[in-house]
Structure 1
Amino acid sequence: MTVPSFDTSSLKKLSDGDLIQQTFSFAERIKNHDAFQNLQEHVPGYDRFTNLGVALQKTSEAARYGDRLLEAEKERIREEIIRCFIFACQHAVMVATHRNAPSMLEIGIEQKQRAYSRSVTHSLPAMPQKLILKKGNRPGMVVATVGKESGVGSIELQFTDNPGDESSWKSLERYYNCRMEVSGLDSVKRYYFRVRYHNSVGSGPWSAVVSIVVE
């Protein structure tokens, strides 16, 4: 198989809250991933990412009160998180290449486009036009589908039970196909969902909000 590489450059642009969410989501994704079992000390795994996410959460909240030392500590933790993402991506590439198993590259991080790829774009993604929600085959599960446009690298899905409160929206992992499953939701409750596209240029606008009552 061709040796790929991952694009982690967008992590530096994330707010503290988004980076924390991305760190926790990544930790959950690799928790049972074949490439991240029985790791050597130099490879960051589930525990390392979880601990860093908690640390950034604490220092980010404390740094809001103007403590310069905490602000410096927060930036140090952010840099360490990004470095761990880079190391984890490199590890996934080495294991997947060694085992000739492309499926091991599915770690929720966008792969870099090759220089000759015609899918490279120089503009932000358009607004998703049609987000469809359906009840899943298990209690507390929702299946979301959206059209995949050309030049789109990944899809970000968010949900909330209070759409009027912007801070209540929760980001899930980045998706790379049009069908997205969300589990663990409360039954007999209305949830609101929205999506947006990401590419190498940045993030596109959010779609219209769509709601569903979970069974």
Structure 2
Amino acid sequence: MSISSAYRKMTALGLINELGSVAAAMENNAAFKNGVPQGVSSAATLLTVREKLKYTHEAASTHDSIKIKERKAVEGEAVKHLDTVAAFYKLAAVNDPNVLLYTGFTPNQPRRGELPPVIPQGLAIYQGPVLGSTAVTVNPIPGVLLWELQVAEGDLSSERNWRPHIFTVGDPMILNGLTVEREHGFRVRGHNRAGAGPWSPPVTFTPK
């Protein structure tokens, strides 16, 4: 068994999931029982970069070349941080191979027979806790790690109008800053180790 370098070829969404899963694994892995060594990125650092990547990924959906470059830069930053953790795990495994049993790193290949998620069902939109906000729910799908929620104002047939928001499964899907008294379109798809599933049919809602 060895640490996979699959994260080096991941998209922004893949890296968002990888940063979260590796950070979570670090909290309980025996390799870090004495703390995080100098030169190795901490779980807190990985989570900070994860939030930064989520933000730049959403901003890059406008197809602005500058925003895309910013996202690419953060992707490179994420890989460098993951490299430090992977290198330390490899070093620690010389004395204790068991540290590799649970690291949070994705295998190079998806699990045999695993397919992308099915079409999400039960997408529902509710008025959120503050003005111009919504709360979104969808029926659970086994194996889904991330929800990609897109929102559009205006012509729903134009892909340029859809803006992405990324949520880890289990996190509340709350959107703020929506235009009050204007109809919005919402759609969602799940992501698992095998990739992205199909979009749900759009649902419309007018925030108050």
TM-score of the superposed pair, with normalisation by structure 1: 0.54
Contact kept in structure 2, 1:141 and 1:214, CA below 8 Å: yes
Question: In structure 1, how many angstroms separate the alpha carbons of the residues matched to 2:182 and 2:122?
Answer: 23
- Of the candidates 125, 129, 143, which is equivalent to residue 151 of structure 1? 143
Name 1:35's counterpart in structure 2: 44
Contact kept in structure 1, 2:146 and 2:191, CA below 8 Å: yes
Give the unaligned 5+ runs of structure 2.
1-5, 17-42, 87-103
Q: Percent identity?
A: 24
Name 1:134's counterpart in structure 2: 126
Moved more, 159-168 or 175-184: 175-184
Task: Report how many aligned residue pairs link the two structures.
Answer: 150
Name 1:202's counterpart in structure 2: 195
Question: In structure 2, how many angstroms separate the alpha carbons of the residues matched to 1:88 and 1:126?
Answer: 32
Name 1:10's counterpart in structure 2: 10
Question: In structure 2, how many angstroms separate the alpha carbons of the residues matched to 1:195 and 1:202?
Answer: 14
The superposition leaves residues 90-140 of structure 1 with CA deviations (integer Å, 9 ceiling, x where unpaired) of 7899xxxxxxxxxxxxxxxxx54689xxx9861111000110100012101
Question: In structure 1, how many angstroms separate the alpha carbons of the residues matched to 2:65 and 2:206?
Answer: 34
Give the unaligned 5+ runs of structure 1.
1-5, 23-33, 62-73, 94-110
Question: In structure 2, how many angstroms separate the alpha carbons of the residues matched to 1:214 and 1:166?
Answer: 21
Question: In structure 2, how many angstroms separate the alpha carbons of the residues matched to 1:45 and 1:144?
Answer: 20
Measured on the aligned residues, the alpha-carbon RMSD in Å equals 4.3
User: Is 2:91 aligned against 1:84?
Assistant: no
Question: In structure 1, how many angstroms separate the alpha carbons of the residues matched to 2:147 and 2:163?
Answer: 14
Task: Classify 1:212/1:171 alpha carbon distance in 2 versus 1 (closer, same or farther; 3 Å).
Answer: same
Name 2:170's counterpart in structure 1: 177
Contact kept in structure 2, 1:113 and 1:120, CA below 8 Å: no
